[in-house]
Structure 1
Amino acid sequence: MINKQEIPCLMALIHTEGWKYEQINNFVIKINYNAKSSIAEFFSLSSKKWSDHFGLSKKETDLLENVKKEIPKYSFLAEDLFAQGYEIIPVNSPEYSETLKENLGYKSPPILYVKGNKKLLKENSVAIVGSRNASEIALKWTDNIAMLASGEHKVIISGFARGVDRQALESALKYKGKSIIVLPQGIMTFYSGFKNYYRQIVEGNVLVLSTFFPKAQWSVGLAMARNSVIYGLAGEIYVAESDEKGGTWSGVTEGIRKGRKIYIRKPESYENNANDKLIEKGVIPVGFDGLPVLEYKLLTCKNLHC
């Protein structure tokens, strides 16, 4: 377990350029469990001891020296976060989402920056994803799926982008449900969002979450990077509408590659989107009730010789 005093060390390790999540998580496991040491204790040692005791290469110790220099800066930032009511959840905390760890494994974000009801991370969850420029029928479908999921007490995962993401969030709250907002920016830059959803956050119906540097502004790169967290937090994935490129398409195709079961709205014949192409790749077509359409049921039955 990483305590509050060790948070700045982990923040510096994550936000100093050099290592990916998988490398960081493996490193933390090596220190905490294999060497029976804490991250703070590790950084109190000399680089020579890092090499001698932990078998680290010159390249690794050079990077960690740079991380060590950044720790005081992150100590101040962590205190600022805590003072403003934010919380930081390390990957080995019992408060961390088990669903996220199951879906992303060693590529899980090493820490989550959050504000709101942390218990939502432990509840059954549904991601409803789709185009920013979604059609009216896709938005109505999103509203209905959110209503059904909220009625089953499932948390709606929203990326807070315009279109399907925002509709999923608003519909969940309209139907007295709960939602996790996954930010494409640092959590300390979500000024208007915290103002707009203050009541829902205080009442425990919304959790705001970010995996990025707390003061990072929105960017296309961060928006794309947070998609894996949206899909990772979800026990179930529903796709309202997709183009042949962009975040929805890449997220769904990556999910297919990983063997995730994904549901998608069966489009009408007049629609111009890539839903049918994703169905051809193995995504399960569903109707407005969220259930597989008749053609899929018949095909599945035929394949199972029932």
Structure 2
Amino acid sequence: MPNPQNETQLYQIALSLIPKIGPATYRNIIAYSGSASSFFNLPAGKASKIPRIGAKLAEIVKNKNQYLREAEEILNNCHKKNIRVLTLQDPDFPSRLKALEDSPLVLFIKGNAALNPARAIGIVGTRQASEYGKNITRKIIEDLIPYQPTIISGLAYGIDIEAHKAALQYDLPTIGILGSSVDNIYPSIHKNTAMSMLENGGLLSEFQPGSEMHPGNFPKRNRIISGLSDALIVVEAAKKGGALITAEIAYSYNKEVFAVPGNLQSIYSEGCNNLIRSMKASIFTGVKDLEEALSWSKENPLESRETKIQSWESFPIEEQQILGLLQQKKEMEIDQLSLQLEMSISILASKLLGLEFEGIIKSLPGKKYRLIL
């Protein structure tokens, strides 16, 4: 087999192709083996001792050449189609996703999207959007201009495509999270908009180029929309549908979820009204709600973030890493921090306590932490 230009990434992709390897198992493998390539070269007996692996999965690893060939084909195909590939271990992999227990292991990206923006807002809703819903979507994005967030949505009919188009109109970066591969725009009618998004944003998918599209892809992609967003706004939604699935996932991730209240007689307001009634979403009355919930200001978010990071330079590197993660999110659980930083709970707890004594972070109920700065 030819030597690939990026052997490290080749082995990481091959590891992701093995059935039943999710983020937790992947991290265990890397922690135990040191790297994906080292894991593939472990004797089966040693591999079976890695937590979450077992004898059966270790046996599968004997077929490593099969996975390496497939990984090489994926990388070659992506190179031909100008598709960027990121694995969970790549430094540019979205930090908002790394902390999730169900994070994708590999992402495929087209365009110039910054995947770790200072601010990111998800906007979703029904495919059967009303004029009211479309107008509200455009108004939300127009009002977001001073805050300069990246707009995240799913390129679907209705509210999603309206959000992307409005972001393009108002020159805000926007990322479309696809339930198809990035070389197969779905729905195809949105291809022109998708191509326009590449210059100041892009398209992202966890499904490899050339792969078949399945209905189950779309609920999976919804977790990426939720995971990449600091807050999620549901503009219109029926009693059931993808927008509500996305909202439920965002709620489970402890993200800020907002729902636009609607006409009690409209079936496409029922989902939003139910989210508000069940207290899984806050009522959205304007971007001031986001400003308060996310502690935003209208100052340049990149300058504000840089100033804060500079003030942390005197801290040891591990504390800087903790603060950097908390900067990305409103709050995080200690388990999420531990997974992201690959730091034991006991050591992490000690460092969090020290930062709390310094008055830099605050502990919250449920073993959560947030920045005070």
* TM-score category (smaller protein): 0.7 to 0.9
Matches within 5 A, 1:25-36: 25-35=23-33
The corresponding residue for 1:148 is 143
Q: Are positions 1:228 and 2:226 aligned together? A: no
Shift of 1:194: 6.4
Distance 2:20 2:50 in 1: 22
Which of 133, 136, 157 matches 2:152? Answer: 157
Shift of 1:34: 3.5
Distance 1:88 1:132 in 2: 30
Which of 1 and 2 has higher RCO (CA within 8 Å, sep 6+)?
A: 1
Count of aligned residue pairs for this structure pair: 280
Distance 2:50 2:124 in 1: 47
Asked whether the equivalents of residues 95 and 118 of structure 1 are also in contact (C-alpha less than 8 Å), the reply is no
Which of 264, 283, 300 matches 1:285? Answer: 283
Cα 1:33/1:175, change in 2 over 3 Å:
same
Cα 1:145/1:66, change in 2 over 3 Å:
farther
Q: Give the percent of matched residue pairs that are identical in Structure 1 and Structure 2.
A: 23
Range with greater deviation from structure 2 (236-245 or 191-200): 191-200
Shift of 1:121: 3.0
Matches within 5 A, 1:1-306: 4-19=6-21, 21=22, 25-35=23-33, 37-51=34-48, 56-66=53-63, 68-102=65-99, 105-190=100-185, 197-198=194-195, 200-201=197-198, 203=199, 205-272=200-267, 273-274=269-270, 275-282=272-279, 283-287=281-285, 289-291=286-288
In the alignment, residue 69 of structure 2 is paired with which amino acid? Answer: P
Range with greater deviation from structure 2 (151-160 or 50-59): 50-59
Distance 2:250 2:195 in 1: 33
Shift of 1:84: 2.5
In the alignment, residue 78 of structure 1 is paired with which amino acid? Answer: L
Shift of 1:173: 0.2
1:248-296 deviations in Å (ceiling 9; x for gaps): 1222233334433211111134423322111111111123x3445xxxx
Distance 2:157 2:58 in 1: 43
Shift of 1:44: 2.9
SS at match of 1:241: coil
- Structure 2: which 5+ residue stretches go unaligned? 290-373
Cα 1:269/1:29, change in 2 over 3 Å:
closer
Range with greater deviation from structure 2 (269-278 or 130-139): 269-278
Asked whether the equivalents of residues 194 and 203 of structure 2 are also in contact (C-alpha less than 8 Å), the reply is no
RMSD: 2.6
- Structure 1: which 5+ residue stretches go unaligned? 293-306
Asked whether the equivalents of residues 25 and 51 of structure 2 are also in contact (C-alpha less than 8 Å), the reply is no
Asked whether the equivalents of residues 160 and 169 of structure 1 are also in contact (C-alpha less than 8 Å), the reply is yes
1:191-250 deviations in Å (ceiling 9; x for gaps): 96666544542x3x1221111132223332111210010011001111101111121122
Distance 2:87 2:234 in 1: 30
Distance 1:69 1:98 in 2: 30
TM-score (norm 2): 0.68
In the alignment, residue 35 of structure 2 is paired with which amino acid? Answer: S
Distance 1:67 1:15 in 2: 10
Shift of 1:168: 0.3
1:163-186 deviations in Å (ceiling 9; x for gaps): 011000000001111101111112
Distance 1:51 1:259 in 2: 35
Cα 1:34/1:198, change in 2 over 3 Å:
same
In the alignment, residue 142 of structure 1 is paired with which amino acid? Answer: T
SS at match of 2:116: helix
Asked whether the equivalents of residues 100 and 234 of structure 1 are also in contact (C-alpha less than 8 Å), the reply is no
In the alignment, residue 90 of structure 1 is paired with which amino acid? Answer: T
Shift of 1:5: 1.1
